[in-house]
C-alpha cells in the first residue's frame, strides 16, 4: 500500500538537488566534482602502477577467492574474530557507509545519466520516501559506529592501537608514527562530519521549505532530519535563515565528500578497496605451502621492494593497522623486535616512497633489508617463529609469513645469519640432521624395544613412519618414539622406518630461508621413499607432517600422510588400541602451530584425551589462538637472548594458572623440547608434568605391567 495520499502527485514527492542555485553555481559544482573524480582516478593509476612494479604472480581460483571475499564482507566474520565489539561496530560503519554511498550513486544515476540521456526518472514518490528512511537509518548506524571507534582509540586506549614500534628506539628517525594516529583521527572525523552535516542539511531544507506541504507533511520519512528540523523551528530559525544555512551546509558537505573521494587512493581510506582485493586474492595455505624459489636466478628472495610480488605490495596497502597480528605475535609478546604490523607498514612506506614516482630510483634505494629508514632489520626477521598467528588473525588476509621467509632467503643468499644457525645448516647438509649426529645413530633408539621394527627400504609395509630428527636423537623424545612403536606393535600395525636413510624433512630449513638445501632434502627424501613400498606415511612431528603433506607434492612426492594424533584417535575409536585403565589426570593441551593453525588438526588430540578419561581444561589461548612454543621457523636452532622471556616460558605461566593441573600435554617433538626447559625455568617442575599424548596412551595401555607379566611367565 502506498504511503502517499491519492490527491498528491507522486512525481512531486522528491528533492531538487540544485533548488535555489543559480546556473553558474551548478557549473562550479560539476567542475569541482569532475576534478575530484580526476584526482581519484589518477591516484588509482599511481597505485596500480606501483603494484605492477612488483613481480608477476598468477592467482588460481580467483572466482572462489572473490566469493570468499563477498562472504567475509557481508558477515564480517574475519573482523569479529577475537574482537566482537570492533567487528560489530565496523559492520555498522561498513553498511552505513555502503548504503549512503549506494544512495548517492543512485541519485547520480538518475540525475546525471538516465534523466538527461533517456528521460528516465525513478527518484520520486514511494521510492523516494523509502529511500529517505533507509538513508537516515544508515546515517545513524554510521555515526554510532564512528563514535564507538573514537571511544576505543581515546578512552579505552587499547595497546594494540598504540603504534609504538618494538623494532625501533626513540632516536631512530622512523620511530615516531604519530602521523598514523593523526590520519586515523582525520579519517574518523571526516566521516562523522559528512554524516552529521548530511542530517543538518536535511533539517535545514525541511525548515526552509516548511510552507510546502509536499515537503513538511512528509518530513517524518526522514526522521532524524525531522527531529533536528523541529529543534531548529523551536529555536526560532526562520525559513530564510534555514535557506541560508542550507546553502552553506550544502557546499561544506559536498566539498568534504568530494575531497574524501579525491584522497581515497592517497590515505587510510584506500583500505576500502585494497582490503577487499587482498581478501579476494589471499592464499588459503600461505604459511603451510611456501612459494618455490628459482635457484637458477641471479638472486634468491626479496632484498629489494621490487622483489615482492604485486599481491604482496597490495597486501602492504591493505593493512588497516588494527593491531591484531601485533597482539597475537609470540615474538612481540615476549619482547623481541618484531611486530607483523610494523613490518608490513615499514614495507608499505618503502613502497610508497620508491614506487609511486613516474621513474624508479636506483636499485640501492629500493633495498628492503637494512638499518636505514623504512628498512626491515635482520634481527626483526630472525625473531619470527613462522607460527602464522599473524596470518590466522589478520581480518584482511595479509600473508606475513611468506614475506618474512622471502626476506630470510635474501639474508641466507647474502650469508647473513647467526653462527649457530649456519652450523646447524652445515650439519643438515653433511649429516642429514639438525643435531649433528652420525647418520648411523638415527635408529639407535629402537634398540631398547623388545621387537624389531621393519626396514621399509627392504620390505613392504602398510605404514611408513617418518620419524624426524628430534624424535630420533633427542633423549627425552626418544622415550616417546619408543612408546609410539609399542603402541603400533600392540595394535598390530604393519609399519617400518627408513633407518639411517631418513633425512630431516626440511620444513624449518625452508622457513629459515635456505631454499636450496630444502629442495635438496625434499628431492632426496622423495627418492628414498620412491624405493619403498607402503600405503601411507605417519609421523609424530607436525613440522614433518606439514611439509610432506603440503610442499612435497610440488616436487613430485604425493603421499597419504597422517599425523600420529589422528592415527591414534582413529585406532582408539575403532578399538584397535586396547586400554587397560583410564587416566584421572587434570590436563591441558597445547596446539602445535604446524598441526593446528597450519593444518587444522585441532580435534583428534582432544578427542583422544577424552577417550583416555582425562579431564581437559583449555588454556585461554587455544586452537587457532594457540601461543607458539617458540621453536618454529628455525628458532629452536638460534639461542634466545637471556634478557628476554622465551615464548615457551610465557606459555608455561599461562598453563600454571590452571588449578590442580597434573599434565601439560604436547603433540610435537620440538614443543616437548621447549616446554621441558620452560617448566624448569619458570619454577613449575614440581607442579605438573610435560607429557606427549602418545605417552598418555601408552600409560593407559600399561606396557610396564605387560612386560613385568611377560618376565614372570618367562621365569
pLDDT of res. 8: 54
310-342 pLDDT, tens digit per residue, is 999 999 999 999 999 999 999 999 999 999 999
pLDDT of res. 60: 86
Pick from 621, 648, 160, 68: nearest CA to 385 = 648
What string of H, E and C letters represents the secondary structure of 315-351?
HHHHCCCCCHHHHHCHHHHCCCCCCHHHHHHHHHHHH
Alpha helices (H) in 416-541, listed in sequence order: 419-431, 469-473, 475-490, 507-512, 515-530
Query: Are residues 345 and 279 in contact, defined by beta-carbon separation less than 8 angstroms?
Result: no
Buried/exposed code over 287-318 (b: 16+ C-beta within 10 A; e: otherwise): bbbbeebeeeeeebbbbbbbbbbbbbbbbbbb
Dihedral of the CA atoms 649, 654, 659, 663 (nearest 10)?
-50
Which residues does 660 contact at the CB level (< 8 Å), separation at least 6? 586
Residue 126 parent element (H or E): helix 125-151
Angle between helices 564-573 and 693-701 (to 10 degrees): 30
Question: Is 282 a residue whose pLDDT tops 80?
Answer: yes
**Residue 652 cell numbers, joined:** 608455561
pLDDT of res. 12: 87
pLDDT of res. 299: 87
pLDDT of res. 703: 83
Angle between helices 62-75 and 271-281 (to 10 degrees): 130
The Cα–Cα gap between 188 and 347 comes to 25
668-683 pLDDT, tens digit per residue, is 999 999 999 999 999 9
11-15, 53-57, 445-449, 525-529: the lowest-pLDDT one: 11-15
Question: Is 707 a residue whose pLDDT tops 90?
Answer: no
The Cα–Cα gap between 394 and 82 comes to 11
Q: What number is the average pLDDT over the span 644-669?
A: 97
Question: Is 708 a residue whose pLDDT tops 80?
Answer: no
**Mean pLDDT taken over the chain:** 94
Sheet holding 495-497, edge to edge: 454-455, 495-497, 463-465, 536-539, 561-563
pLDDT of res. 2: 54
> What residue segments make up the domains of the chain, in order of their start?
75-162, 291-413, 420-704
pLDDT of res. 642: 86
Dihedral of the CA atoms 330, 333, 335, 339 (nearest 10)?
70
Query: Are residues 334 and 650 in contact, defined by beta-carbon separation less than 8 angstroms?
Result: yes
Helix, strand, coil share of the chain (percent; to 5): 60, 5, 35
Pick from 552, 569, 573: nearest CA to 561 = 552
Which residues does 2 contact at the CB level (< 8 Å), separation at least 6? 125, 126
pLDDT of res. 712: 44
Confidence of residue 709 (pLDDT cuts 50, 70, 90): very low
The Cα–Cα gap between 224 and 200 comes to 9
pLDDT of res. 7: 46
3-class secondary structure, 706: helix
3-class secondary structure, 563: strand
The Cα–Cα gap between 304 and 55 comes to 11
Q: What number is the average pLDDT over the span 636-641?
A: 93
The more confidently predicted of residues 63 and 479 is 479
pTM of the predicted structure, to 2 decimals? 0.93
pLDDT of res. 62: 86
Confidence of residue 350 (pLDDT cuts 50, 70, 90): very high
Query: Are residues 708 and 509 in contact, defined by beta-carbon separation less than 8 angstroms?
Result: no
pLDDT of res. 456: 98
DSSP string covering 615-680 = EE---SS-GGGPPP-S-TTTGGGSPPPTTS--HHHHHHHHHTTSTT--EEEE-SHHHHHHHHHHHH
The Cα–Cα gap between 579 and 507 comes to 34
Confidence of residue 155 (pLDDT cuts 50, 70, 90): very high
Confidence of residue 634 (pLDDT cuts 50, 70, 90): very high
pLDDT of res. 61: 82
Give the CA distances from residue 515 to residues 291, 415, 551, 637, 642, in Å, rounded to whole numbers and listed in that order: 10, 13, 12, 17, 30
**Residue 346 cell numbers, joined:** 615499514
> Residue length, the chain?
715
Q: What number is the average pLDDT over the span 141-151?
A: 96
Query: Are residues 50 and 313 in contact, defined by beta-carbon separation less than 8 angstroms?
Result: yes
Q: What number is the average pLDDT over the span 510-533?
A: 97
117-126, 345-354, 441-450, 626-635: the lowest-pLDDT one: 117-126
Architecture in CATH of 291-413 = Orthogonal Bundle (1.10)
Computed over its alpha carbons, how large is the radius of gyration of the chain?
Answer: 32
Q: What number is the average pLDDT over the span 345-366?
A: 95
Pick from 385, 340, 381: nearest CA to 594 = 385
Amino acid at each position: 500500500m502506498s504511503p502517499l495520499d491519492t490527491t498528491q502527485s507522486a512525481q512531486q514527492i522528491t528533492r531538487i538537488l540544485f533548488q535555489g542555485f543559480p546556473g553558474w553555481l551548478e557549473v562550479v559544482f560539476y567542475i569541482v566534482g569532475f576534478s575530484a573524480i580526476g584526482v581519484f582516478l589518477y591516484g588509482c593509476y599511481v597505485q596500480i602502477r606501483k603494484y605492477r612494479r612488483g613481480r608477476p604472480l598468477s592467482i588460481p581460483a580467483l572466482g572462489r577467492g572473490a566469493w570468499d571475499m563477498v562472504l567475509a564482507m557481508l558477515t564480517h566474520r574475519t573482523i569479529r574474530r577475537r574482537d566482537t565489539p570492533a567487528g560489530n561496530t565496523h559492520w555498522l560503519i561498513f553498511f552505513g557507509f555502503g548504503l549512503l554511498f549506494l544512495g548517492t550513486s543512485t541519485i547520480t544515476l538518475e540525475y546525471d545519466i538516465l534523466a538527461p540521456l533517456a528521460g528516465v526518472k525513478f527518484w520520486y514518490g514511494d521510492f523516494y520516501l523509502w529511500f529517505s528512511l533507509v538513508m537516515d537509518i544508515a546515517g545513524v548506524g554510521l555515526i554510532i559506529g564512528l563514535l564507538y571507534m573514537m571511544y576505543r582509540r581515546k578512552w579505552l586506549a587499547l595497546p594494540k592501537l598504540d603504534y609504538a614500534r618494538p623494532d625501533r628506539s626513540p632516536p631512530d628517525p622512523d620511530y615516531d608514527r604519530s602521523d598514523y594516529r593523526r590520519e586515523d583521527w582525520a579519517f574518523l572525523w571526516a566521516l562523522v562530519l559528512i554524516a552529521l552535516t548530511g542530517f543538518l542539511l536535511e533539517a535545514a531544507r525541511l525548515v526552509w521549505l516548511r510552507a510546502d506541504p509536499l515537503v513538511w507533511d512528509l518530513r517524518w520519512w526522514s526522521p532524524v532530519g525531522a527531529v533536528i528540523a523541529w529543534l531548529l523551528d523551536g529555536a526560532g530559525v526562520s525559513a530564510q535563515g534555514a535557506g541560508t544555512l542550507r546553502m552553506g551546509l550544502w557546499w561544506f558537505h559536498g566539498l568534504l565528500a568530494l575531497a574524501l573521494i579525491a584522497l581515497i587512493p592517497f590515505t587510510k581510506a584506500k583500505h576500502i578497496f585494497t582490503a577487499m582485493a587482498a581478501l579476494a586474492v589471499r592464499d588459503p595455505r600461505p604459511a603451510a605451502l611456501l612459494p618455490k624459489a628459482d635457484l637458477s636466478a641471479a638472486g634468491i628472495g626479496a632484498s629489494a621492494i621490487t622483489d615482492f610480488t604485486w599481491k604482496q605490495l597490495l597486501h602492504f596497502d591493505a593493512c588497516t593497522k588494527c593491531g591484531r597480528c601485533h597482539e597475537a605475535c609470540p615474538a612481540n609478546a615476549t619482547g623481541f623486535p618484531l611486530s607483523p604490523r610494523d613490518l608490513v607498514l615499514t614495507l608499505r612506506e618503502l613502497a610508497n616512497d620508491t614506487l609511486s614516482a613516474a621513474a624508479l630510483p636506483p636499485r640501492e634505494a629500493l633495498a628492503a633489508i637494512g638499518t636505514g629508514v623504512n628498512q626491515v632489520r635482520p634481527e626483526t626477521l630472525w625473531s619470527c617463529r613462522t607460527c602464522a598467528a599473524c596470518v590466522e588473525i589478520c581480518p584482511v588476509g595479509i600473508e606475513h609469513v611468506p614475506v618474512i621467509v622471502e626476506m630470510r632467503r635474501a639474508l641466507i643468499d647474502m650469508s647473513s645469519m647467526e653462527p649457530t644457525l649456519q652450523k646447524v645448516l652445515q650439519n643438515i647438509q653433511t649429516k642429514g640432521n639438525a643435531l649433528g649426529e652420525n647418520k648411523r645413530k638415527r635408529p639407535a633408539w629402537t634398540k631398547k624395544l623388545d621387537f624389531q621394527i621393519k626396514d621399509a627400504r627392504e620390505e613392504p609395509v602398510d605404514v611408513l613412519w617418518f620419524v624426524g630428527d628430534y624424535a630420533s636423537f633427542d633423549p627425552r623424545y626418544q622415550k616417546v618414539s619408543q612408546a609410539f612403536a609399542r603402541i603400533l606393535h600392540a595394535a598390530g600395525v604393519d609399519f617400518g622406518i627408513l633407518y639411517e636413510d631418513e633425512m630431516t624433512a626440511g620444513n624449518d630449513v625452508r622457513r629459515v630461508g635456505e631454499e636450496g638445501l630444502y629442495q635438496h632434502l625434499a628431492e632426496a627424501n622423495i627418492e628414498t621413499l620412491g624405493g619403498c613400498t607402503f600405503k601411507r606415511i605417519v609421523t609424530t612431528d607436525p613440522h614433518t607432517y606439514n611439509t610432506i603433506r603440503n610442499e612435497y607434492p610440488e616436487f613430485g612426492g604425493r603421499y597419504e600422510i597422517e599425523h600420529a594424533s589422528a592415527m591414534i584417535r582413529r585406532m582408539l575409536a575403532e578399538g584397535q588400541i586396547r586400554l587397560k585403565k583410564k587416566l584421572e589426570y587434570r590436563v591441558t593441551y597445547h596446539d602445535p602451530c604446524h598441526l593446528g593453525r597450519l593444518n587444522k588438526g585441532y580435534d583428534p588430540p582432544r578427542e583422544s584425551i577424552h577417550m583416555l578419561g582425562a579431564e581437559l581444561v583449555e588454556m585461554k589461548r587455544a586452537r587457532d589462538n594457540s601461543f607458539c612454543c617458540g621453536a618454529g621457523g628455525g628458532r629452536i636452532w638460534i639461542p634466545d637472548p637471556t634478557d628476554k622471556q622465551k615464548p615457551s616460558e610465557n606459555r608455561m605461566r599461562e598453563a600454571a594458572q590452571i588449578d590442580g593441573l597434573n599434565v601439560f600435554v604436547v603433540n610435537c617433538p620440538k614443543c616437548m623440547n621447549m616446554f621441558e626447559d620452560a617448566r624448569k625455568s619458570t619454577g613449575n617442575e614440581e607442579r605438573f608434568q610435560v607429557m606427549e599424548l602418545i605417552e598418555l596412551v601408552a600409560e593407559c595401555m600399561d606396557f610396564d605391567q605387560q612386560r613385568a607379566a611377560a618376565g614372570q611367565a618367562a621365569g
